[in-house]
Chains A and B, each alone.
Chain A
Amino acid sequence: AQRVTQPEKLLSVFKGAPVELKCNYSYSGSPELFWYVQYSRQRLQLLLRHISRESIKGFTADLNKGETSFHLKKPFAQEEDSAMYYCALQGAQKLVFGQGTRLTINP
């Protein structure tokens, strides 16, 4: 079965501090992992995907198959990073989301 777990519903850090949003997954095959973000009053949008190995808005995420994790990291948080973040897994077909983490950056 496909499952994505985001253990933190809420995360609050100060501006300039490092951020790590945790994501663990369960999937027997070779998954594609994504992070989606939803800013206030906007639609859900892709932040980054593991196959691209890119950094978007200073965020990176490394797929660790041994730990079945895909944590999202940023070394220095900015106020505009405040949003809902969803980790997602695509198996053979469907895209499955975690419950989401609400990230708040305090000034």
Chain B
Amino acid sequence: GAGVSQSPRYKVAKRGQDVALRCDPISGHVSLFWYQQALGQGPEFLTYFQNEAQLDKSGLPSDRFFAERPEGSVSTLKIQRTQQEDSAVYLCASSQGLRGVNTEAFFGQGTRLTVV
């Protein structure tokens, strides 16, 4: 494909609403990362998948955040009962390998979530 694709590009949610953000990684990429980027900040790690296994979810800010990658390709980040502090750009990235020369992470354009 053309790269990592995220949808929707923009999402406005009312406080308390559930949202689902989708990431289509580059085909064949083993690693998939989700990041949260608040305005004026660097990307903050949320969670990491190696194929379908979620190996690290230490960055998820609360149990309202849930991510899955059931078949080792497409991933969904779900946020339940959204709060205003969840407003941010959510970035997805994928990489071909685990370490070494194939660890370049390719990023999607992000989903800008605004909670009103």
Check if A90 sits within 8 Å of B99, measured CB to CB. Answer: yes
Which of B17-25, B65-73, B78-86, B100-108 touches A? B100-108
For the complex, count residues of B whose C-beta is within 8 A of A: 27
Q: Which residue on chain A has the smallest CB distance to residue B109?
A: A43
A86 interface neighbour in B43, B100, B106, B110, Cβ under 8 Å: B43
A97 interface neighbour in B3, B42, B50, Cβ under 8 Å: B42
Q: Is A17 an interface residue (CB 8 A)?
A: no
Alpha-carbon gap, A33 to B22, bound state (A): 28
For the complex, count residues of A whose C-beta is within 8 A of B: 21
A-B contact count (CB 8 A): 54
Check if B103 sits within 8 Å of A94, measured CB to CB. Answer: no
Q: Is B93 an interface residue (CB 8 A)?
A: yes
Check if B48 sits within 8 Å of A51, measured CB to CB. Answer: no
* With contact pairs A43-B109, A44-B91 given, residues A96 and B104 touching in the complex (Cβ less than 8 Å): no
Check if A51 sits within 8 Å of B101, measured CB to CB. Answer: yes
Q: Which residue on chain B has the smallest CB distance to residue A102?
A: B40
Q: Is A64 an interface residue (CB 8 A)?
A: no
A99 interface neighbour in B41, B91, B99, Cβ under 8 Å: B41
Given contacts A34-B105, A94-B33, A96-B45, could you give 10 more A-B pairs where the C-beta distance is less than 8 Å? A44-B93, A45-B107, A51-B101, A86-B42, A86-B43, A94-B45, A94-B48, A95-B45, A99-B41, A99-B42
Q: Hey, which bits of chain B sit against chain A, CB under 8 A?
A: 3, 33, 35, 41-45, 48, 50, 55-56, 59, 91, 93, 98-101, 103-110
